[in-house]
Amino acid sequence: MTIANNLDSVRQQIAKAAAASSYKQQVKLLAVSKTKPAELIRTAYEAGQTEFGENYLQEALDKQLHLQDLPLTWHFIGPIQSNKTKPIAHHFDWVHSVDRLKIATRLNEARAEIDTLPLNICLQVNISSEASKSGVSLTELPELASAICSLPHLSLRGIMTIPAPTEDQAQQRANFAQLASALQLLQKQLPEAPLDTLSMGMSNDLEAAILEGATYVRVGTAIFGRRPPVKPESK
């Protein structure tokens, strides 16, 4: 399979799920290119893909340098260390993985240093608390969201989640439905915020995510193929 073929079949999967979704939302595809070389990103771009997600800062900056000639939109989707906030705020259009105020405050200050649009933010929510350490709890989400809304160089666009992996589609949908109702609550709580984004669904569960209202699906393996196991030093 080539990347163009893979993109085609992911797009078809998305279109089919979107047509079946009662939300009737527009679904965007974020191609997750972590661990994959810049040449493959270029190939995906030539097949019509412009939005890319990266998890590891240094690796992402190296690839951005090689792809400067292309009009790409970059999303940071990995864990954020506070000493990395400045390059993230300067070199990305979106950050999906904000889960604490300290990081948001630092992103806001760094974004103020460059003359550009506010940085688009999704708060990462931990809906299956035993599965991962990252993410704000549903209980703490309203307070964090309202604090971030007052930061002028950030634009709070929505929420993101990575649920515990399961093959059970009913369970997948139940998890994503929790995130969808959390977004609806935030929209009521913060009517002035541009909260239009549900970032949820990956290669194995994008259909369930779209049926529950996803507006961004983050897809790596189904586009670029399998990745090598994570090396801690590559972070």
Q: Which long-range contacts (CB under 8 A, 24 or more apart) does 2-6 make?
A: 3/40, 3/43, 3/44, 3/47, 3/223, 3/224, 4/43, 4/46, 4/47, 6/222, 6/223, 6/224, 6/225
Least spacing, CB of residue 64 vs ligand PLP, in Å:
18
Q: Which of residues 62-91 bind ligand PLP (CB under 6 A)?
A: 77
Could you give the 3-state DSSP secondary structure of residue 179? Answer: helix
- A 10 A CB-CB count for 182 gives 21
For 54, residues 6+ apart whose C-beta sits below 8 A from its C-beta are 32, 33, 34, 60, 63, 74, 75, 76, 77, 78
Query: Applying CB under 6 A, does 9 fall inside the site for ligand PLP?
Result: no
Least spacing, CB of residue 90 vs ligand PLP, in Å:
21
DSSP lists the bridge partners of residue 28 as: 216
Residues in the chain: 235
Q: How far apart are CA 142 and CA 123, in angstroms?
A: 11
Question: Which residue type occupies 212?
Answer: E
Q: Give the DSSP letter string of 204-226.
A: TTHHHHHHTT-SEEEESHHHH--
Place of tokens 């929790």: 178
Query: Applying CB under 6 A, does 221 fall inside the site for ligand PLP?
Result: yes
Query: Applying CB under 6 A, does 162 fall inside the site for ligand PLP?
Result: yes
Q: Which of 7-15, 84-92, 176-184, 213-221 is the region at the interface with ligand PLP (rule: CB under 6 A)? A: 213-221
Query: Applying CB under 6 A, does 203 fall inside the site for ligand PLP?
Result: yes
Q: Which residue in the set 27, 29, 32, 107 belongs to the binding site for ligand PLP (CB under 6 A)?
A: 32
Q: Which of 9-17, 112-120, 132-140, 200-208 is the region at the interface with ligand PLP (rule: CB under 6 A)? A: 200-208
Q: Which is nearer to ligand PLP, 121 or 219 (CB)?
A: 219
Query: Applying CB under 6 A, does 125 fall inside the site for ligand PLP?
Result: no
**Looking at beta carbons, which residue is closest to ligand PLP?**
220
Q: Which of 6-14, 81-89, 198-206, 207-215 is the region at the interface with ligand PLP (rule: CB under 6 A)? A: 198-206
Q: Which residue in the set 55, 161, 172, 197 belongs to the binding site for ligand PLP (CB under 6 A)?
A: 55
Q: Which of 44-52, 87-95, 137-145, 212-220 is the region at the interface with ligand PLP (rule: CB under 6 A)? A: 212-220
Least spacing, CB of residue 219 vs ligand PLP, in Å:
5
With beta carbons less than 8 A apart as the criterion, state whether 163 and 131 touch: yes
Query: Applying CB under 6 A, does 202 fall inside the site for ligand PLP?
Result: yes
Positions in the binding site for ligand PLP (CB under 6 A): 32, 34, 55, 77, 162, 202-204, 218-222
